[in-house]
Structure 1
Amino acid sequence: MTTFKSLLFCLIISTLLFVSFVQAHETVKTNEIIGYSAGEQKIDCGAECTRRCQLSSRPNSCHRACGTCCARCNCVPPGTSGNEDVCPCYANMTTHGGRKKCP
């Protein structure tokens, strides 16, 4: 009976370690896709989005969308509009309806 419990315990621990490894691998893979590495510092999305949305006719909506895009891409294009070639991740995000997500 003790051998069975030990075997079961080892199986559970092995499964948990495997799941943890897979999740860590997916996190690294996601970071590579969205364009930043572990060594790169994240930008101040609040300040960058305030700058980007300062001339918007709907600043709250602009700031909310910009914040989401900035968090995912770690990038906000310069200026208050356009310049999206500087940050392709930001420029290529779309809503469920297929419209551009990022201001």
Structure 2
Amino acid sequence: MARFSLLRSCLLFFLVASMCFVEVSLAGGEGSLRPEQCAAACDYRCSETSHKKPCLFFCNKCCAKCLCVPSGKYGHKEECPCYNNWKTKEGKPKCP
């Protein structure tokens, strides 16, 4: 009887753990940022641009989807493939 209880507990643990994994993978995020960290990361990324308002808007939008913002104030987009590969209808980069 104890073995059945242990088996049931292990099965329940793996079921809950797999549900957490599916939830994270369905979120569309690839990076290690949490959504509340996006504002600070985008403030830094857009700090030297002359088009600050649109830069912040699109950076925050991209960060919310990808959970990643490339390091630095320009370039380094290869660090975040989701951020790098998201394009506008015209085929231009959506993320600054």
Q: Which residue of 1 aligns with 2:43?
A: 50
**Aligned partners of 2:46 and 2:52 also within 8 Å:** yes
Q: Which residue of 1 aligns with 2:61?
A: 68
**Structure 2 unaligned residues grouped into runs of 5+:** 1-18
Relative to the length of structure 2, the TM-score reads 0.67
Higher relative contact order (CA 8 A, sep 6+): 2
Structure 1 stretches of 4+ with a deviation exceeding 6 A read none
Q: Which residue of 2 aligns with 1:8?
A: none
Instruction: Report the Cα offset of residue 79 of structure 1.
Output: 0.2
Equivalent residue pairs, number: 74
User: Cα RMSD between the aligned structures?
Assistant: 2.1
Superposition pairs of residues 75-86 of structure 1, within 5 angstroms: 75-86=68-79
| Residues 35 and 53 of structure 1, relative CA distance in 2, 3 Å threshold | same
Q: Which has the greater radius of gyration? A: 1
